[in-house]
Amino acid sequence: KGTICKALLEKDDDIFISISATTRNPRVGEVDGVNYHFLTKEEFKQRIAEDDFLEHAEVYGNYYGTPKSSVEKMLDEGKNVILEIDIQGALKVKEKATDGVFIFILPPSMEELKQRIIKRGSETPESLMTRFKSAYKEINYVSKYNYAVVNDNVEDAV
């Protein structure tokens, strides 16, 4: 998902991406405020209490959320906004943003997805297994989206 979003941003000046907040640790090369807003669990829970998220969920033991104010600001400015979120978040946003366009990004195969996740080097064997089980479940929700795109080639997917 991230690679496709980055390519879209480079290709089209009218597209903007919402920067999600998370409690997970940054991966190598990630920058706070650029890739994510990295928060402590306490900070994240406080922002939930303040109704500061368009959607939020706990995924693989970490919290993720889309800051409401930044998305609303971009939409008010007439910008096209991409939310790079999982199925839980997308279903929550779809309830609120009925005019949104929802695109499900599919891996070319489950084996390819496995290799891509392993290549990141950020998963333990246990979290890897949890991610695969979750991916199998999430594919069942593809019909809830407006479009499905197979990410077998980034340029084609974009």
Burial level of 8, CB count in 10 A (0-12/13-18/19+)? middle
Pairing of strands 37-38, 80-82: unpaired
Q: Kindly report the CA angle at 158 between 100 and 12, in degrees rounded to 5?
A: 75
List, for residues 106-154, the tens digit of each pLDDT value: 989 888 888 877 887 777 888 888 888 888 899 999 999 999 999 999 9
Domains of the chain: 2-157 (3.30.63.10)
CB 102 within 8 A of CB 147: yes
Instruction: Please state, in angstroms and rounded to a whole number, the distance separating the CA atoms of residues 36 and 50.
Output: 19
Q: What is the pTM of this model?
A: 0.81
